[in-house]
C-alpha cells in the first residue's frame, strides 16, 4: 500500500469487512493487484461506486489463494473497495499492497492515509478503514507513474494507489452465520444501479392507518395486509400461518416461536411481534428449557407470487441478540430444500448494529457466509429502532433491487449470481416475518438486553407491474 510489503492492513477476525479508497474523482479502472500477507481472503470482491451507497462488483471469487493476485477488471467509479466475505485462515486477513490502475481524467493520484469510518455495516469496534486518495491537479503522467512493470502507461495512466494506514487498523463488522432455514446472512454486496420506480416513502414515528393503499405509477397491488384489526386480535388466518418451535431454526436461535401469543394487532394499525424473556408453558428448545418466546409468521400455502415489488413499513426492536427480519422463500422448499429454493432477505438487522440493515439473497452455491448482499446504514448516529422505515425489494427475471426509505442501495443481477451458482428466483416466493433472539450471527443476549422487544409492522404490500 505504501510500497513497503513489510507493512500491511490487518482486519479483525470476523468476515464481511472492507478496505475502501476514495480516488478523489471518477476513474476508469482496468487492473487491480492484491499482495496478501500470511492471512488472506478466501472469498472477496472488488467493488466500485460513485456515491458509497450503490456498489458494482468488478471481480468476485470464492477461491482466493493468497500471495500476489493480479486481476483484470473493467469498470468506473470514484470509490473502490476490497470487500472480504470469508477469510482463508484462522485469523482475519492482512493486505500488504492494494494497487489500482486505470484512467482518472488524466490526473495522477497521490495517496493519503486517513483512518475514517467506512459507510456501511456498523463495526463492533471503533477502528475502521477508509483511505482517502486525493488527485494532484494538473499532472498528466507520460511515463511510469508507479513502481510497476508497466513501461509506458497509455490507458493505464493511474498510478498505484497506496493504501496502508500508518498503523494497523482492525475492523470488525460481524460474525459468520451458519447455514440454516431462517435467514442466514453472508453479506457480499454486488451492486448494479438501475432506474428506480417513483415511490415516495413515508417514515416517522406514527403508524399509518389505510384500508385502500395506492399503487405507484405503473404498478397494481396484488396482495396486502394493513393490520387494521381490533386491539388484541391475532394475524389474519386467511393470510398468515405461524411457524412453531424451538429447534434453533438452523441458526442456534434461543427463542421458542409460539402459535399466536407473541403476534397481536394493537388497534392502531400495527401488527406487533413481541420477543419476551419468559417460558409460560415449559417450552423446550434445542439447548434445554427455553428462555425466550417470539413469533414467526409466513404466507406459505396462503399467498405467493413471481416478480414484483414488496414493501413493508416497520419499526424494529433493539438490543444485543435481537434479530428482526422480513424475507421471502421459494415455495418449492419442501421438494428441493434450502438453499436450492432461493431466499431473499428484504431486510435483516442484528441488535449490535443499530444503525445498519442488510439485504441478501441465498441460493445454491452462494448461501450462508457466501450469500450475496449489501448493507445500508443511517447517518449521524440514527438508529432504525427510533422510527418507522420503509423496506422494499423490486424483483424481476433479471435482477433484485433493495431499498430503504426509497433509497436503492444494492442490486444483484442474474449475471452476477450465475458467477456463483444457479439463479433461483424464477418461480413463486412466499413472505416471512419474524423476530429471532440470539443465534450464530447476532450472538446471544447479554446483560444489556431488555425485554419485551417489539417489532411494529404498519403494513406489507405486494405490487406487480402493468
Active site residues: 343, 348
φ/ψ (deg, to 5) at 335 = -95, -30
CA distance 160 to 145: 8
Secondary structure E strands in 316-382: 322-330, 343-348, 356-362, 372-377
Bridge-based pairing of strands 296-298 and 56-61 is unpaired
Q: Which residue has the cell 395506492?
A: 214
Separation of alpha carbons 118 and 57, rounded Å: 17
Amino acid at each position: 500500500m505504501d510500497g513497503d510489503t513489510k507493512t500491511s492492513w490487518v482486519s479483525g477476525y470476523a468476515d464481511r469487512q472492507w478496505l475502501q479508497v476514495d480516488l478523489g474523482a471518477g476513474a476508469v479502472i482496468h487492473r487491480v493487484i492484491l499482495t496478501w500477507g500470511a492471512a488472506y481472503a478466501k472469498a472477496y470482491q472488488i467493488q466500485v461506486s460513485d456515491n458509497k451507497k450503490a456498489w458494482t462488483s468488478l471481480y468476485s471469487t470464492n477461491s482466493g489463494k493468497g500471495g500476489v493476485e493480479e486481476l483484470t477488471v473493467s469498470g468506473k467509479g470514484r470509490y473502490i473497495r476490497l470487500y472480504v466475505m470469508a477469510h482463508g485462515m484462522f485469523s482475519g486477513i492482512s493486505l500488504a499492497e492494494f494497487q489500482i490502475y486505470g484512467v482518472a481524467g488524466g490526473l495522477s493520484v497521490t495517496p493519503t492515509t486517513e483512518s475514517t469510518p467506512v459507510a456501511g455495516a456498523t463495526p463492533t469496534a471503533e477502528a475502521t478503514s477508509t483511505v482517502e486518495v486525493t488527485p494532484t491537479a494538473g499532472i498528466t503522467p507520460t511515463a511510469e507513474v508507479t513502481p510497476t512493470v508497466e513501461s509506458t502507461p497509455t490507458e493505464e495512466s493511474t498510478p498505484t494507489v497506496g493504501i496502508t494506514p500508518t498503523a494497523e487498523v482492525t475492523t470488525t463488522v460481524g460474525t459468520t452465520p451458519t447455514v440454516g432455514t431462517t435467514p442466514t446472512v453472508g453479506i457480499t454486496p454486488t451492486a448494479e444501479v438501475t432506474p428506480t420506480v417513483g415511490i415516495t416513502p413515508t417514515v416517522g414515528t406514527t403508524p399509518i392507518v389505510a384500508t385502500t393503499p395506492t399503487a405507484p405509477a405503473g404498478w397494481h397491488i396484488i396482495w396486502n395486509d394493513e393490520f387494521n384489526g381490533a386491539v388484541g386480535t391475532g394475524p389474519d388466518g386467511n393470510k398468515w400461518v405461524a411457524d412453531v418451535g424451538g429447534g434453533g431454526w438452523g441458526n442456534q436461535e434461543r427463542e421458542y416461536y409460539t402459535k399466536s401469543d407473541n403476534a397481536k394487532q394493537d388497534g392502531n394499525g400495527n401488527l406487533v411481534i413481541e420477543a419476551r424473556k419468559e417460558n409460560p408453558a415449559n417450552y423446550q428448545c434445542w439447548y434445554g428449557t427455553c428462555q425466550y418466546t417470539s413469533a414467526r409468521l409466513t404466507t406459505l400455502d396462503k399467498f405467493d407470487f413471481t416478480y414484483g415489488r414488496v414493501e413493508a413499513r416497520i419499526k424494529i426492536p433493539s438490543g444485543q441478540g435481537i434479530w428482526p427480519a422480513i424475507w421471502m422463500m421459494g415455495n418449492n422448499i419442501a421438494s428441493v430444500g434450502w438453499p436450492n429454493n432461493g431466499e431473499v432477505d428484504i431486510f435483516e438487522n442484528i441488535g449490535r448494529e443499530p444503525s445498519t440493515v442488510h439485504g441478501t439473497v441465498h441460493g445454491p452455491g452462494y448461501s450462508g457466509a457466501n450469500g450475496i448482499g449489501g448493507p445500508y446504514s443511517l447517518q449521524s448516529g440514527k438508529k432504525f429502532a427510533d422510527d418507522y422505515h420503509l423496506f422494499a425489494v423490486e424483483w424481476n427475471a433479471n435482477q433484485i433491487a433493495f431499498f430503504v426509505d426509497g433509497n436503492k442501495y444494492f442490486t444483484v443481477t442474474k449475471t452476477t449470481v450465475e458467477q456463483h451458482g444457479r439463479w433461483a428466483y424464477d418461480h413463486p416466493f412466499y413472505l416471512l416475518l419474524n423476530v429471532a433472539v440470539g443465534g450464530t450471527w447476532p450472538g446471544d443476549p447479554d446483560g444489556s438486553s431488555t425485554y419485551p422487544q417489539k417489532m411494529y409492522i404498519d403494513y406489507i404490500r405486494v405490487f406487480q407491474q402493468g
